Structures are given as structure tokens and as C-alpha cells.
Chains A and B, each alone.
Chain A
């Protein structure tokens, strides 16, 4: 029997506010344990949470950017569970009335376009961090993250393949970074994803039993874990077994997932309205205000790159997939004329270097300004493409300015007519057989002569000068 996977994603994104969602403690990452805590976020008796206005604005922004309806009235509820990462014994979240609903994202995967529904976006507080010490039989609790504002973005179960899930996640990640509401750092947990995966026989309407995958801290791991889960469930069903509803933890080192609990407890969170918080009313003026401050989104930027810079659809998509990359490109081309050349250099040489080093563009050892200077030397024919590659490598290694590398290594292109003419004449004299063969129609030999010129100039001859010169002399 053939099965169809049904996948839904839940993304928790940390909002980039300075302070926590219900108190004035800092949200800064990496502080000493419990440095960013106060009676409110540690749930002392008698304290009153007060909602951070900026967190609401960010949530509205995320809602608008993902085509959601912003609810005029939303409320906060208590989600009750007993675990030391939340000292109150409940998490303040939005259950019955979330801030935003009914959105969608258009994605491209497996060669086709698809619209993925967004069920809802709700606001909630993050939980603290536990460090387990099994030797002592103890857990250490750090509540710095407790109360940091999150939005949870829940997709419809519209995804059918791991690559669709990856495409949806990348797009959502890019949008949240573009609108500057989340720093998107997956390693530090600012952008976390859980995946719900189930299988059903092809053609069947009803969903099968789903499992929830956790600990997916990179795009690659999300795709790998989903692929693994589809295979695992297919195997279980084909063997006549039943999929058990459970939470499974992805282990990126073993490339497999394992059940978190032997037996899944049915959670009853006993949601009820939090009496400490009053209803949140978002009026038209607030929404208009957020809309007015909305920056260019990835899709808009892509279209602009196509029309303004004459880039192909593919190039524009690659360059706008990440905001930092798009900014790098635009800074690079500001003083340049040959935009296509700059785009190619960024997409091959620069991105190749980033991939090899496994770093982000924001960590690039070469700044857009320096990169632009390098391409400027290429554009003005001061150096040729080979030399530019050498200079680029040296820039990465030493952080030197391209100009001084060119001078130091003597990479400047030889464009002097007289000098080159002398060399070309010499080469023609030294290679009479090849000259004759060329004149007899073996035009492929042209690259041989070009190679000889490059050899004599140690790769520094300007091909734009040499090519016509060789052609006329031959």
C-alpha cells in the first residue's frame, strides 16, 4: 500500500525585545545564571505581569508578513504543567483567542509552487533552562530565559514532503529576519521547530496517528528527521503495526530519533483565562502603524532585484534568500557598473568560501566594502579574473586590502600595447608549426597562443588587449 505523509510544523520564534514579555528584566543571552530574573518572572506570590507593548507590535508584524488576519481582541491563558523550568506551575500563552490567524506562505519545493496555510500565531512566554546532573541526581535551574517573549507559528498540515517542510521553514525564517522581529539564531534557540508527522493511505481523507519530532535545531536536521520518520512509520505500517502517538527526540549524531517516553501521557493542560492579564485590543491605527513600518519582504526584494539589476529569477532568489546576503550584494554593487559580474562572484566565489568554512555571511572575513574594491579592480581591468581569485584568497587569509595585495604580489594586469605586442611577435616566431596549423584552419589553437602570452606575463596579460592583437597578427 502506498502512503502519503502529512506534515505540520510548529515554530517558536524568540522576539527581539529588550525586555521580557511580562516584566522589565533583560532578555540578553548568555548572562550568568538567574541574573535576569525578578519576582514576576520567577512567579513569586502576589506579583502582577504587565504585557510588553513592543512584543505585541512584533507579533502583529509577523502576522501581517505571513498574510494572517490580526484579531482585534486576543487574550492570555494559563497552560498548566508541572516542571521546574516554569516556577509558576503554568505558562502564560494564548489558547482560545490568539493574536493572529488564517495566514499562508507560498513556497517552492520539488520543482513546484505550493501554498502552505498558517493556522495561527500566538504569543507566549519562554521557559527556563535545566542542566541535568545525573551523577548527583540533581537538576540545576536557570530562569534567565523564563518570560522571554515568543511567538508560536503553527502551520496547517499542508506539507507532504521533507523538502517542502524545509522550504517552508527557510521562508518563514527569512521573513522573520527581514522584518527584524527575531534574530533567527537556531543554535541559541531563538528559532525552534517541532514537526508533526503522520502517514495515511493515498486517497484517504482521515489523518493517521501522528508523532511529534523535537530537537530539530537546523534546517538540515528538520528535513533529515522528517525523512527518517516517514521511513520509520512506513515500515511500522507495512509490517502491519500501529504508529503510537508519541514525542520523539532527534539525535543529530546518530541520525535517528528515539521515543521520549515509554508511554505517552495524555496531556491535560487545564487551560483557563489568566485573570492577571486583561484582554488585548488591537485597533486599526495600531495595525496601520505596523504596516507603515513594514520593510521590503523577500518576495518583493526578489522582484526588485530582477527589474532593477536585470538579474535572472534564480540569481535574485539566491541573493535575497537571506537579508544579510541581500544587503551584502547591494553594498557591493553600489560603486560598480558590472552588476552581473558582481552577482556571479558573490554566488560562486564568496558563497563557496562561506560554505567551505561553514559560516554565515554575517561572519564573512571579507566585508562588502572590501569585496567591492576587489571587483572594482577587476572591472577597471587593473587585474584579471585569475589574479582576482588570488587576491580574494589572500584577503581571507590576511584581511589585507585588495589594492595592497595587488601591489605586493605584482598582480597588476599588463595592458601596455607595446609590451604585449613584443611578446606576441616573439611567440609567433617561436612557434612556426602552430602558426601554420592555425592559419590552415585549426582555430582551436588560439587558446594555445593565449596560454603562451599568459605564461610570459605570469598570468597578468589583459585578455581584452591580447585577443584582438593575436587575431590580427595570426
Chain B
């Protein structure tokens, strides 16, 4: 996970975080015990509808901002390992 999130985490901290993440997952499991019979499912917790924007263009920050964190760049493209098998 540290690798995927591009975070530099040393081994000692990894141990601590692994334990904490396990605790979080276990805690979320308590949701399974809630009785939801007769409750209408909702897709979010915002309790509002129709948050919309007008079709109005704003300037895009452009490739230099977009690519600022790219591990590899060629001109204005991201470069990733070849994904065609």
C-alpha cells in the first residue's frame, strides 16, 4: 500500500500501520451486526440531490501541473510500462 500511495514508510512504521489498518477493518466489520431490515438503501451520506454545474469551460492547468508527479514523462505524455500483452 505504501508503494501504491508513493509513500516512503520505514519498516518500523510499516509494522505499526499494518496493525492499525487491521484494527480499522475489524471495526468496520461491526457494521455487519446492524439490523437494516426495512431501511431504504442510500448511496451516500450527503442527503441531498442534484448538485450540478453549468457547461462552462474553465482554463485547465495544463500538462505541467498534471504531470508534476508523474514517475516518468515523455514530452506531455505520462509514460507507463507497456500494458499490451
Contacts and interface: CB of A to CB of B under 8 A. Distances in A.
Contacts of A274: 43
A221 interface: no
A19 interface: yes
A25 B60 contact: yes
A130 B83 CA distance: 9
Secondary structure at the A interface, as helix, strand, loop or mixed, is: loop
B45 A53 contact: no
Interface in A16-62: 17-19, 24-26, 32-39, 42, 50-56
Contact of B60 (A26, A53, A136): A26
Contact of B74 (A39, A42, A132, A140): A140
Nearest to A77: B43
B76 A53 contact: no
B38 interface: no
A235 B69 CA distance: 52
A230 B76 CA distance: 43
23 contacts: A18-B56, A18-B57, A19-B56, A19-B57, A24-B57, A26-B57, A35-B62, A35-B76, A50-B53, A52-B52, A52-B53, A56-B52, A130-B83, A131-B77, A132-B82, A140-B78, A141-B77, A273-B43, A274-B43, A275-B44, A278-B44, A278-B46, A280-B49
Nearest to A36: B60
A34 B85 CA distance: 25
B44 A139 contact: no
A138 B76 CA distance: 15
Interface size bracket, A side: 35 or more
B54 interface: yes
Contacts of A34: 62-63, 66-67, 76-78
B19 interface: no
A197 to B, nearest CB: 24
B82 A137 contact: yes
Contact of B77 (A25, A55, A140): A140
B45 to A, nearest CB: 7
Secondary structure at the B interface, as helix, strand, loop or mixed, is: loop
Interface of B: 43-46, 48-58, 60-63, 65-67, 72, 74-85
A143 interface: yes
Interface in A112-156: 130-134, 136-143
A38 to B, nearest CB: 5
B49 A83 contact: no
Contacts of A32: 63, 76
Interface string A72-95: 000100000001100000000000
A279 interface: yes
A17 B43 contact: no
A454 B75 CA distance: 67
Contact of B55 (A17, A35, A142): A17
Given A38-B60, A132-B83, A138-B82, A53 B77 contact: no
Interface centre among B58, B63, B74, B77 (most CB of A within 10 A): B77
Given A50-B51, A133-B82, A139-B80, A37 B43 contact: no
A75 B84 contact: no
Given A24-B57, A280-B49, 11 more contacts: A18-B56, A18-B57, A24-B53, A35-B60, A39-B61, A51-B52, A53-B55, A54-B54, A138-B81, A139-B84, A141-B78
Contact of A50 (B45, B52, B81, B85): B52
Contacts of B75: 33
Nearest to B45: A275
A430 B55 CA distance: 78
A51 B51 contact: yes
Interface centre among A50, A56, A139, A277 (most CB of B within 10 A): A139
